[in-house]
Amino acid sequence: MKISKYLFVLHIFISIVTYAQQTSTNILEVTNPNEANEIDTKDTVIFYDVIYEKELTEEEKASSSFIKDITVTFNKNKLVERVFRNTTRYESYTVFDYSLKKYYKCNVTRSQKRAIVSNFRTPSKDVEKQNNSEKTILDLPCDEYVTIIAGKPVKMYATKAFGLRFAHNYKMDGFLLDYYAYNKKLGKYRVVAKKIEHLNIPASYYSLNGFDVMNKEAYKKLRSESRKNYEERKSKYNKIADKLIDKKKPVYSTKTIINKKISSKKMLGKVVVLNFWYTTCPPCKKEIPLLNKLKHKYKNKDVEFIAFALDEEYKLANFLLKNRFDYDMVSDARWLKEKFQIQAYPTNIIIDKKGKIQFYDVGYKSTILDKMSYEIDQLLAQKI
């Protein structure tokens, strides 16, 4: 096989993806190995298309629920299933271990690698095998099954060519190559195998080395502690906001990276929107498109938009070459951190025409555009 093909497939696998589909706990089970066709000693990779029954809007396609495609990679002992979605904040997939009869839901972020381990369980979804009814998919013979999805009967097809059981939560034998699933937001969709490759995949692709492996109980405890810490931080931020709201803003004077002079005193009479951020902050970067929309929404109004970045000017300039951020941009702004009591990033602040802080919000929120628009409208309507 050509090296270019190998690199192409590996490129797909190492792409940062989100595994948001709830995979069943009984997806895999070893069946009779003698049933498998003799392919070779290489790993098998199956690429699946995802076809939605209804026509989706652009907004639905952009949601985290939308599945682009699916890949399943396996050898005699392990299988990795990846569901590719729109989110790129972290990589998420599931590793199934035949010999141990366990599966691991893996999540990889910039700072941690975690795997939640569970045992395989008995299938619970009923299907009816259709005797004397077969279909060939990608040159593989498949048995036909019928089940009920969203109140209607659908046909599914599974092959015994691999000698493995990959059937999600269905009471059926074989390896699914054509099946249906349902999402509450996007409705019913069909998953169909479109291509099979036999490759030499590195053992590290299946490995859990470097992962913090824990069971569900330990994970629940960790989530509970994390939630407690989050609530404590949220309470801290709220106390800071309560302390600063309706108070005079700190006095400052600086220049943007294009030498535009900025003076807090000279902006009296205008609504001023501030953003505190840095270029390697994922939630900061995520909200930039929303902040750009906010800026352009008020482009003909008496509203100033200023972003204070922690980064040095050259780092900020390099970032802005590839990423549009329409606020007036100030670099090396750590000196303002204490003045505004910034504790985390991003932080968005809105100052009224009298120079008083009226909005103080910490962290990324998908609703930030609406929240800040409402506050700006209220402040623009006020008379000095």
Q: How confident is the model at residue 88 (pLDDT cuts 50, 70, 90)?
A: low
Q: Give the pTM.
A: 0.62
Q: Are 83 and 127 in contact (CB under 8 A)?
A: no
Q: Pairing state of beta strands 187-199 and 175-183?
A: antiparallel
At 181, is the pLDDT very low, low, confident or very high (cuts 50, 70, 90)? very high
Q: What is the mean pLDDT of the chain?
A: 88
Who's near 14: CB < 8 A, 6+ residues apart?
A: none
The confidence band for 249, taking pLDDT boundaries of 50, 70 and 90, is confident
Is 119 exposed, middle or buried, given 0-12, 13-18 or 19+ CB atoms closer than 10 A? Answer: exposed
For residue range 267-325, list pLDDT tens digits in order.
999 999 999 999 999 999 999 999 999 999 999 899 999 999 999 999 999 999 999 99
Residue-wise pLDDT for 31-80, tens only, equals 444 444 444 468 999 999 999 999 999 889 988 899 999 999 999 999 99
* 67, amino acid identity: I
Q: Please spell the DSSP secondary structure of 192-250, one letter per residue.
A: EEEEEEEE---GGGT--TT-EEEEHHHHHHHHHHHHHHHHHHHHHHHHHHHHHTTSBPP
- The band of 134, judged by pLDDT with boundaries at 50, 70 and 90, is confident
Task: Compute the average pLDDT of residues 323-334.
Answer: 96
Residue 8 has pLDDT above 50, yes or no: no
Res. 342: pLDDT tops 90: yes
Compare 17 and 94 and report the one with higher pLDDT. Answer: 94
Q: Among the CATH numbers 2.50.20.10, 1.10.4080.10, 1.10.10.10, 3.40.50.300, which is that of 3-216?
A: 2.50.20.10
- Range among 4-8, 161-165, 369-373 with highest mean pLDDT value: 369-373
Q: What are the extents of the domains in the chain?
A: 3-216, 247-381
Running DSSP on this structure, what letter comes out for residue 67? Answer: -
Secondary structure of residue 382 in the 3-state scheme = coil
CA angle 86, 90, 96 (to 5 degrees): 95
Q: What is the pLDDT of residue 89?
A: 65
At residue 42, the pLDDT reads: 87
Q: Can you say whether the dihedral through the CA atoms of 178, 182, 183, 187 is positive or negative?
A: positive
Give the CATH number of domain 247-381; options: 3.30.70.20, 3.20.20.140, 3.40.190.10, 3.40.30.10: 3.40.30.10
